[in-house]
Amino acid sequence: LANALQIYQNYERDRERFSLSLIESSLLQSAAEVKNADFNAHLDTSRFKQAFFKSVILGSIFIITAGLFFSTFSAAGYRLVHPMQDFSQEHELGFFIRPGNATVVKGQDVQLAGIVSDSTYDQAVLLLETIEATQRISLVKSTDDSFRYKIPNIRSGFHYAFAVGKQSSDKFAITVIERPLLRNVQLKIEPPGYSKITAFLLDENIGDVSALKGSRVKINGVANKNIHAAQIHFSGGKSRSMTPRDRRVSGAFNVIQDDVYSIWLQDDAGNENVSPIQYKIRVMPDNFPLVQILSPNQDIDLGDDMLIPLVIEAEDDFGISRIRLAYQLIAGGEGEPDSSRFSFSDIQGFEANEEQVRVAVNWDLSTVEMYPTDVLVYYVQVFDNDDVSGPKSARSSLYRARFPSLYEMYEETADEQENASESFEKALEKGRQLEQKLNEMALEMKRTTEMDWQKKQEFEEAVQRQKDIEQHLDNAIRQMDEMMQKIEKNNLFSQETMEKLEEIQSLYKEIMTPELQDAMQNMDEAMQNLDEKLLQQAMQNLKMNVEEYNKTLDRTLSLLKKLQAEQKLDQAQKMAQDLADRQEEITNDAKKQGADNQTLAKEQQRIASDTEQLSDLLDQLQKQMKELPSSPMEQVQQAAQQMQQDGLQQSLSQLEQKMSENNMSGVPQQSAQAQKSFQKMADNLDQAKQMMNGEMQRQAMQAMRNGSRQLLQLSKQQEQLMQQMQGMPRTSPEFMDMAEKQEQTASSLQRVVDGMAETMKNNFGIDPKISQSLGKAMMEMQNAINAMAERNGNQATRSQGESMAQLNAAVRGMQQSMQNMMQQGGSGGMSYQQFLQQMQQMADQQGQLNQQSQALGNQGQLTPGQQAALARLAAEQAQIRKSMQQMAREAQGMPEILGSLEKIAEDMKKVEQDFANKQITRDTINRQNRILSRMLDSQKSVNKREFSRERQAQTGKHYVSRSPDALPKDLGERENQLQQDLLRAKKEGYSRDYLKMIENYFKALTEHEMDN
């Protein structure tokens, strides 16, 4: 078997020399022979057992010895394993390692240092073992005999040792821990309440703050580990504590100023975060408010009502909380305002905390003690609603409200009237030139009807000249409108004078009639069509309308000039009454203890100056009165003489000197005497005004009576001519006679028209439509004459009927004007309707004043605020009393109520004194009730008298007439209108003969219409 196996091994080494099949056959044969043999039985194991026991004993001894002398055996083992290494004997080294085993914070720098006991070694190796690998770092000894190595920004832990030569130090461990770190932060901003901005969140990890001052900033953050303590640090050194909970921190602070903040963290081990993020705090600006006075946005003169209608607009980015008026009185208007002397008054009536505010205030200055030429400077101040830093304020521009003297206001009005008069005069002059040109063109058209380019150009120029006149007149109308507003605002003239001004105002607004517009339009169309007949007719119409236009303009100008004299008289009366009232106030103030004598002296000086101006005005008025017929010259002279006889100027000068020297002896008595002189002057001038108005009214009434009588006669003549023309054939030889008669009637009408035009130029209260009706009547008569010349009987009859209708309309206009004049409650006085309206207004004012004062009287001791309110009520009562006195002067034609008005004024004066003395007694209340009761009774008396007067005016003979059919169209009238005209004529109070003639005329008209 052994041979067979050896041969097989040889085959493996050299297959070419041996046969594999023979080898396999030999192996199979040997295997068969030893298949049943027991090889173990032939082995000798005794030697192996002895050797095994010896080995166990020796191994045990070795292990025990090696355990006792491990270092020696390990060194010996190392040398056996490294047979090629030199193991010559070295002495043992000592190592001093820093920092040894240590715990450091992640991100710190770690300095490793090792010192070897044998200083002869210049090099060493630092062994660094990390999870990833082991590093060997060669080190060179430093000057202090140590081997150093710095690991910057350490991120993870490691083991390390130093090795020198064949020796190394023990291994040490560096453990790395993390500092606390804020990983996530979110801020919530809560703006201050006044801003009305809702709270909002910033995006995560956005720590910069931009918010209004006073905003609350809430911080919520999440750290990388549990936090022991946290704070908010500000750049100024202040800090705020935060609340930690596990890894979360929360805190808050208020935005006060621009700043920088950071969040400081400390973990349970006392480690703090390093270089936390610096966040910026920026205070958003809360802008200052804005305010402006929209109206009036300029310096103004105060009106008689002492009101300034203010329109104020203010805005702020978050809201307006307060608006107040600041004002300061500058006596005499001299000097600049002192910022420390402004008074303030809060304005109510607006929605607080709104971003935009517009408020209208009717600022009443009646309680401010102002004298003529004084100036009130004022501005508006607003405050926003910033309740954190305090409201910021802004102020408007500074404006001035001047209290002009009466003389100044009258002078300004006179200048404006003079400018308007000049404009009217220029317009009238151009109108007359145009009228003359139209007459020339009309004559030229009669000579030749041929239309050439030059004539057409003249027509176009005529129309354009009329348009230019209208444009020029518009400027005058605007001036008059502005003047009227100023007069009404300052209550410069009496009610009657205002009515006359309004009449003039309506006159110049009606100058441009629709008929004139139509005539100009027809003229344009005729020129475009080149129709000679239409052009001639359009020319005639335009000429007639331009004539009427000029007449109306002439009347307007004449009345305006005439009114200037009345206004001067009105001005003088108003100035005298104003001086009387002001002197009375000085008298009352001089009687009081502790009166400011210097203030009284200044006012007395102003009164003396205004008295000189009144004296000059009276001189001008006397010169002007000489040029006016039937003027009340005597009364004006008496007023002027009153000033000289009483030595008024000298007395006023003495009063001023005494007050300046604080010598009040006899001042109240002397002042009262001066007041009486002023009052006498005012009464004389008022009487002159009433007489002047009465004379003007009488003349106007007489002129209209004569005019209406003449027009009725002409209307009857026109009717007769119309009847004669009806049915006349074209071949009748009577056309020439009829035309001549119509010419005579037209000439008679022209004389009436001229007379009425002169009357209307010099008198108020006459309906301007009368002039228009007369102009149309004249034009229709001319048309009738032209139709007769052409033997056109039908056209002549229609024109005659229309002419008669216009004459009747003119008569009705005169009757209505006379009726209006007769309704006046006396010569030039107020009408009953005016009296009732004014009395009702004053009664309403008195009733409100009674309620307010009685409410104050029920409250016992008055507070300073209530005393101020009582002073205001005293001023209101004085104003009502003055209005009552003015009404009494204008109600001279109402004797049944005149005495009552005077008693009412006396009671008002006593109530006014009680208020001035800051007392409300039972007598005061009773007197107030009596005042109101008498005011209501006076209205009842006037109503009763007016009712009785109307009934008496309607009493008379009863006329019975049946209603006929409607008039033919060419008459243009209805029977019932004639009946109404007849009844109205009976009410006018004409004489019996004149009334009989009117009755017969209307009766004839009615019968004629019934026959037709």
DSSP notation for 592-622: STT--HHHHHHHHHHHHHHHHHHHHHHHHHH
The answer to whether residues 240 and 231 touch, using CB atoms and an 8 Å cutoff, is: yes
305-314, 680-689, 709-718, 978-987: least confident range: 978-987
- The count of other CB atoms within 10 Å of the CB of residue 522 is 17
Mean pLDDT of 601-610: 88
Residue 510: pLDDT band (50, 70, 90) is: low
Of 376-385, 609-618, 830-839, 855-864, least confident by mean pLDDT is: 830-839
Instruction: Calculate the dihedral angle through the C-alpha atoms of 780, 783, 788, 793, rounding to the nearest 10 degrees.
Output: -60
Domain 95-177 has CATH 2.60.40.10: yes
Between 874 and 558, whose confidence is greater? 874
Span 128-157, mean pLDDT?
91
**Does residue 310 surpass a pLDDT of 80?**
yes
Kindly state the DSSP code that residue 119 receives in the 8-state scheme.
T
pLDDT tier, 893 (very low <50, low <70, confident <90, very high otherwise): low
Mean pLDDT of the chain: 80
- Of 277-291, 566-580, 891-905, 957-971, minimum mean pLDDT range: 957-971
Of residues 885 and 307, more confidence is placed in 307
Looking at the predicted structure, is the pLDDT value of residue 667 above 80?
Answer: yes
Tell me whether the CATH fold assigned to 95-177 matches the one assigned to 296-404.
Answer: yes
Lookup: tokens for 495: 């009610």
Q: What is the pLDDT of residue 102?
A: 93
pTM tops 0.85:
no
Q: Which of 112-116, 249-253, 503-507 has the lowest mean pLDDT?
A: 503-507
Query: Which of 183-192, 414-423, 650-659, 732-741 is predicted with the least confidence, judged by mean pLDDT?
Result: 414-423
- C-alpha to C-alpha distance for 920 and 925, rounded to whole angstroms: 7
Question: Which tokens hold the place of 214?
Answer: 């006073």
Is pLDDT larger for residue 556 or for residue 339?
339
Task: Find all residues with CB under 8 Å of 568, minimum gap 6, and list them.
Answer: 414, 617, 620, 621, 624
The pLDDT of residue 968 is 40
Higher pLDDT, 243 or 992: 243
Domain boundaries, the chain: 2-36, 49-84, 95-177, 182-284, 296-404, 830-943, 956-1012
In the numeric block, the tokens 């009615």 are attached to: 1006
What's the CATH fold of domain 182-284? Answer: Immunoglobulin-like (2.60.40)
Examine the pLDDT at 430 and tell me if it is beyond 60.
yes
Q: How is domain 296-404 classified at the CATH fold level? A: Immunoglobulin-like (2.60.40)
Which of 70-79, 373-382, 904-913 has maximum average pLDDT?
373-382
Burial 285-306 (b: 16+ CB within 10 A, else e): ebeebbbebeeeeeeeebbeeb
- Residue 946 is predicted with a pLDDT of 46
Phi and psi at residue 401, to the nearest 5°: -120, 110
* Local confidence band at 501 (pLDDT 50, 70, 90 cut-offs): confident
Query: What does each C-alpha distance from 522 to 269, 279, 429, 505, 548 come to in angstroms?
Result: 111, 86, 25, 29, 17
DSSP H or E stretch at residue 540: helix 532-591
Report pLDDT for 953: 38
Which carries the bigger pLDDT value, residue 957 or residue 995? Answer: 995
Per DSSP, the chain holds a count of helices (H) and strands (E) of: 22, 26
